[in-house]
Structure 1
Amino acid sequence: MLKVLTLSTLFPDATRPTFGVFVERQTMGLAARGGVEVKVVAPIGLPPAPMRDAAYKALAALPARESWKGLEVWRPRFTALPIVGGAINPWVMARAIAPLLAEIRRDFAFDVIDAEFFYPDGPAAVALGRRFGVPVSIKARGADISYWGHRRGCGGQVLAAGRAAGGMLAVSGALRDEMIALGMPGDRIRVHHTGVDQSAFRPVDRAAAKAALGVSGPFVVTIGHLIPRKAQSLTIAAMAQVPGATCWIVGQGPDEAKLRAEIAALGLEGRVHLVGPKPHEALPGILAAADVMALPSASEGLANVWVEALACGTPIVVGDIGGADEVVDRAAAGRIVARGPDAVAAAIRALIAEPPAQADVAEAARRFTWERNGEALEAHLRGLVALP
């Protein structure tokens, strides 16, 4: 029996049901495999009590331990200081959760720590691995390398964690190359593609799917946290050049007011809509209804929503970033474009004018399964602990 302690600051909870849902799904897939037992520790960083807004107060009220979709999950708190705390978060987190891991270990002698994000999870996991004498795996997902890996006070910790880890995972070959360029040992980095539930994310009658959403005509969707890196501003500017098309921007985040102002300035209020966050189970219906999913992000490792859109038969428009060419590997899958409104608009118009067959688009996602993801993850972790 392989006993895995999954450590992830990216994990859903009752207040944020879509936060890190890809980690949740991967962990559920691993736990479902015969011969594997998994426990989850999902630390929550909180500022000091006087600095907590309503969202932080809701996080503070979450149970310290619960059963989450069949997984046993602990949610220990650690103090995260806004603005200045980034460089010390790994140390603070490791110190705060070490007693919990000692308690868990009395009944669950975990063989390996599986850290699901490189910062602050990775450096904390390495410290905890040393303390408990177990190997550590760290998974890189994108911004944890492209942002935290270059940030002063944090980048050195990212590199040191990568060099100390028994093994690493990268969501794309491009991200693996970036990790190697930082100085991490390439022989310990395995490309580990995401999966998609192809029973839920699948092609359906597009006209009927649009009608269910109250949409008609050309339909463009962009899904992601409302932050500059996700480049919703580019998609909004592009929509000014796609006459007659409706666009839904799905997500929430600090850029909401700015994006509303941009929509108003371009006179697009009747066609471009900020629809807020949607539960993950609602995404198949939205993506299957769309003619195009546009996400011209500034950086990505390999975005789950790229693969989810393709599995629904919806082509994507993305920038030449991360693992884009590992997903858009055929014409039917969509377009990789320069990150500017003109190029994004031209790609959207082309895909609306000559839509590829939904079945051909979905074929591009066929290899991205949770079964393959779980099998590869188990093999990787068993290799670290030398279990058969």
Structure 2
Amino acid sequence: MGAVSGIAVAPSDRHRTGRRPLRLLTFTTLFPNPGQPVNGIFVENRLRHLVESGEVEARVVAPVPWFPSSHPRWGEWSKFALAPPTETRHGLRIWHPRYPVIAKVGMSVAPLLLYTWTRAVVGRLLAQEDIDAIDAHYFYPDGVAAALLAREFKKPLVITGRGSDLNQIPQYVLPGRQIAWAARRANGIITVCEALTDPLRNLGVADDKIRVLRNGVDLVGFHPIDRVTARAALGLSGPTLLSVGLLIERKGHHLIIEAMAHLPDFTLLIAGGGPDRAQLEALAQRMGVAERVRFLGVVPHQSLATIYSAADALVLASSREGWANVLLESMACATPVVATNVWGTAEAVTAPEAGVLISERSAQGIVEGVRRLFAALPERAATRRHAERFSWDKTTQGQIELFRTITGQPF
């Protein structure tokens, strides 16, 4: 059995492949912990499927900002103190070293702080384990810090770009230069959608270094649940829209609430937590739709399937998204989507059975998109079939091929 990561690799898998598993050190601040149970869950999901292939073992270093106390009086900051120094999730051994975050001036020095405060933990792991490569997620600051670690410890490096790390942060001069340096230092680069390859090209990255490996969806965990049962559990009647995501401006929940004033027959469910909740609740009151807008708070990831299944459509009004996992999760539960046409979204919503794209990010654009979808609602079984095209298999195989290529391990 595999001992490097504490993740069991069946002898039959090793015999079948005729090669030992790759041994990766995954480095990212985007990873769940007890204080942030849904933080970076898409990174965890991709890694879990990779490990379940039997061809990869992994250790995870998931740094957390330092904060002295978990007392509730500190609000959102207190959640950082809840992450233990080490933990095991789904068989993955995880380390949570602390690093300082400096307000206002911290953006430019963030990679150096992250590198400096994690190198001891990473060094000890690399001294104890025969690690083949570093697997970093999110270019800034994580990818830059990982590039410094890879240089120091002489390990091959793959960085995955996921969204604003490539479509926004490179606009700032110093971070942009650091991202370009890390991209040159990396042995391989993954993007979660085709749209994110252009920013890399603009930074001078050669096409042959980039692989597009879209996030998949867990078709077992996200599946259609009996609608009558799901709706009864939530006390729903009439057409229902759903918005899922962190309660911040760029997710566009406020635009959907504004749209509700022009969709009088609809109920809106909002699943997620975040700093803008009070503002959004006040907006719903001002718009006169508070009785038809329900805030569900943070919903455990494993409980979302019931909510997706109960809704008639998911609305995603983001101003930017690399690859929005909620789109595929909703479709896998047989619920079509209405989404702004930003970055990788058009690569997921490619057919009428998936839903509709709106070109104007506004309340009126959402109203028109909802009406267009409901004028020709697809069969829910067809929506599910569309999601089935996005299993994790292709992404998992693409990662295995890339890591074996950069490490010189046999195929």
**What is the TM-score with the length of structure 1 in the denominator?**
0.95
CA contact (8 A) 1:48 1:79 kept: no
Map of 1:378 onto structure 2: 400
| Equivalent residue for 1:21, pick from 41, 62, 75 | 41
Give the aligned length.
388
CA contact (8 A) 2:35 2:81 kept: no
SS of equivalent residue, structure 2 residue 189 = strand
Matched residues in 1 for 2:81 and 2:228: separation? 44
Greater CA deviation, 151-160 or 65-74?
151-160
Map of 2:54 onto structure 1: 34
Map of 1:6 onto structure 2: 26
Cα displacement (A) at 1:166: 0.7
Does 2:71 correspond to 1:71? no
Cα displacement (A) at 1:158: 1.4
Cα displacement (A) at 1:199: 1.5
Map of 1:204 onto structure 2: 225
CA contact (8 A) 1:291 1:355 kept: no
Matched residues in 2 for 1:61 and 1:2: separation? 31
Matched residues in 2 for 1:370 and 1:225: separation? 24
Q: 1:299 to 1:198 in 2, by over 3 A?
A: same
Matched residues in 1 for 2:124 and 2:252: separation? 43
Map of 2:362 onto structure 1: 340
SS of equivalent residue, structure 1 residue 81 = coil
User: Cα deviations across residues 319-372 of structure 1 (Å, max 9, x unaligned)?
Assistant: 111112211111111111121211211221232343210111112211211233
Map of 2:124 onto structure 1: 103
Matched residues in 2 for 1:155 and 1:240: separation? 41
CA contact (8 A) 1:126 1:161 kept: yes
CA contact (8 A) 1:328 1:364 kept: no
SS of equivalent residue, structure 1 residue 155 = helix
Greater CA deviation, 337-346 or 174-183?
174-183
Matched residues in 1 for 2:166 and 2:193: separation? 12
| Equivalent residue for 2:193, pick from 172, 185, 196 | 172
CA contact (8 A) 1:310 1:333 kept: yes
Cα displacement (A) at 1:41: 0.3
Greater CA deviation, 154-163 or 348-357?
348-357
Matched residues in 2 for 1:131 and 1:345: separation? 53
SS of equivalent residue, structure 1 residue 360 = helix
| Equivalent residue for 2:243, pick from 222, 237, 244 | 222
Map of 1:356 onto structure 2: 378
What is the one-letter code of the residue matched to 1:201?
F
Q: 5+ unaligned residues in a row in structure 2: which ranges? A: 1-20
Q: 5+ unaligned residues in a row in structure 1: which ranges? A: none
What is the one-letter code of the residue matched to 1:355?
L
CA contact (8 A) 1:46 1:79 kept: yes
SS of equivalent residue, structure 1 residue 373 = helix
The share of aligned pairs that are identical, in percent, is 37
CA contact (8 A) 1:309 1:315 kept: yes
Larger relative contact order (CA 8 Å, sep ≥ 6): 1
Matched residues in 2 for 1:278 and 1:271: separation? 19
Root-mean-square deviation (CA, aligned residues, Å) is 1.9
User: Cα deviations across residues 112-135 of structure 1 (Å, max 9, x unaligned)?
Assistant: 110011111110011100111111
Greater CA deviation, 223-232 or 197-206?
197-206
Matched residues in 2 for 1:46 and 1:132: separation? 25
Q: Which runs of 4+ in 1 moved over 3 A?
A: 54-58
Q: 1:40 to 1:53 in 2, by over 3 A?
A: same
User: Cα deviations across residues 3-25 of structure 1 (Å, max 9, x unaligned)?
Assistant: 10000100000111111111111
Cα displacement (A) at 1:304: 0.4
Cα displacement (A) at 1:173: 0.5
Greater CA deviation, 239-248 or 153-162?
153-162
